[in-house]
Amino acid sequence: MLRLANRQYVVRLFIIGICLSLLAVYCGRHTSDLRFLSRLHGIHVTLFAVLVALANLAATYKLFVVLHWLGLRNMDFVKWVRVFVASRLASFCVMQGTNLYRAIRLKKDYSFSYSGSVGVTAVITCFDVASVLLVTGVLVLAAGRFRSVTGLLLVAAAAAMISPLLVLPPLVRRLGPADASAKAGWRGWAVGRMRVLAEVVARCTKDLRTMAFISGMTIAVYLALLGGTAVCLTAFGREVSMFDAALLTSVLVLSRTVNIVPGNLGVSELLTGVSAGLLMDEAMYGVMLSAIFRIVDFAVIGLAFLAFGLERVIRKTRGGERRIP
């Protein structure tokens, strides 16, 4: 098991190294193209940071509501924001750090099972990917920039992401009664875990209103980041086509949703750069957009983490002063 973990770690480092090397070579050969960064002023960075903060807040609220549906009604929103901020900070350093941290905290503070956390992660990831694919497919069909089959394939891919969530609960119910006792062995244990996961999926897909909320919050995150993309491209001096900005945002969001290395470092920049090159013949715009988003996102999350830490220190200090006779 340890050897497998070490191999995975080496593979991830190799992927990061390859991607960063390709980016370094490209930037080194196109240093003159980097002059557009001088047009990026404080007002642009501030507006971008506000939009990134709003995107994170929308994602936080979406998860909070989903967990509320799953029975965690005594959860305090501010406390959940602290958990979300700490978990997002972990994602910059550790593979699946966000999901691992949330699962541990939910288990420790609310006795929420690890299987339940896996179910929440699966549901949110599927809805995130499906929502962005659906929006992108509709944009492609409406704009007519590519062949209509491209838009139809994207819409079909969105439906394919959600379909397993609708099929899983009834399939699990047919497995028979859940018995996770020692006598049932591994099969009973597996059925029990599957039932927990299926229950999470069932509650999140019970009706169109529920699914519309999850998708709507994902689209709200997407729109906030679309605004950030438009701000950056405008600052770069690019005449913004909302179609190009929307597609570039779709690549940016999708490249951060499913990670193969921590934070998809290098991978996201490479994919966004290639997409910008295909869309507007300016690959450097995509590379810098992704890099700026990574830096600003880390700064926003880091400042929020420091603010919560400072608030806790102040609260403890005041509490200690009040106890002094």
Domain range list for the chain: 15-25+39-312
**CA atoms of 272 and 256, how far apart (whole Å):** 11
Half-sphere exposure of 17 (CA within 13 A, CB side): 6
**CA atoms of 230 and 73, how far apart (whole Å):** 38
Stated pTM of the model: 0.86
Residue 111 banded pLDDT, cuts 50, 70, 90 = confident
Span 40-52, average pLDDT: 92
Residue that is written with structure tokens 């949330």 in the block: 102
**DSSP alpha helices (H): ranges in 30-173?**
42-69, 77-91, 97-110, 114-143, 148-173
Average of per-residue pLDDT values in the chain? 84
Span 82-93, average pLDDT: 86
Counts of helices then strands in the chain (DSSP H, E):
11, 0
**CA atoms of 26 and 117, how far apart (whole Å):** 40
Span 209-220, average pLDDT: 92
For residue 159, CA distances in Å to 166, 211, 272 come to 11, 13, 24
Q: pLDDT at position 145, please?
A: 66
Q: pLDDT at position 177, please?
A: 56
Q: Tell whether the model's pLDDT for residue 324 goes beyond 60.
A: no
Residue 320 banded pLDDT, cuts 50, 70, 90 = low
Q: Tell whether the model's pLDDT for residue 184 goes beyond 60.
A: no
**CA atoms of 126 and 257, how far apart (whole Å):** 10
Task: State the DSSP code for 7.
Answer: H
Side chain identity at residue 308, one-letter code: F
- Listed as own residue / partner, the contacts of 170-175 with beta carbons closer than 8 Å and 24 or more positions apart are 171/198, 172/197, 172/198, 173/198
Q: pLDDT at position 203, please?
A: 87
More confident residue, 174 or 104: 104
**CA atoms of 9 and 20, how far apart (whole Å):** 16
Residue 273 banded pLDDT, cuts 50, 70, 90 = very high
Average the pLDDT over each of 68-72, 88-92, 230-234 and give the range with the smallest value. Answer: 88-92
For residue 128 the two structure tokens come to 């995130």
Q: pLDDT at position 42, please?
A: 87
Beta carbons within 10 angstroms of residue 68's beta carbon? 14
Residues in the chain: 325
State in Å, rounded, how far the first CA of the chain is from the last one.
56
Q: pLDDT at position 325, please?
A: 47
Three-state SS at 258: coil
Three-state SS at 284: helix
Q: What is the pLDDT of residues 283-307, one digit of tens each?
A: 899 999 999 999 999 999 999 999 9
Q: pLDDT at position 240, please?
A: 75
Which helix (H) or strand (E) covers residue 319, if one does?
A: helix 283-323
Average the pLDDT over each of 130-139, 178-187, 209-218 and give the range with the smallest value. Answer: 178-187
Side chain identity at residue 63, one-letter code: L
Span 256-263, average pLDDT: 82
Residue 176 banded pLDDT, cuts 50, 70, 90 = low
For residue 5 the two structure tokens come to 């973990």
Among residues 94, 104, 58, which one has the least CA distance to residue 219?
Answer: 58
More confident residue, 308 or 94: 308
Span 94-105, average pLDDT: 81
Which helix (H) or strand (E) covers residue 195, if one does?
A: helix 185-204
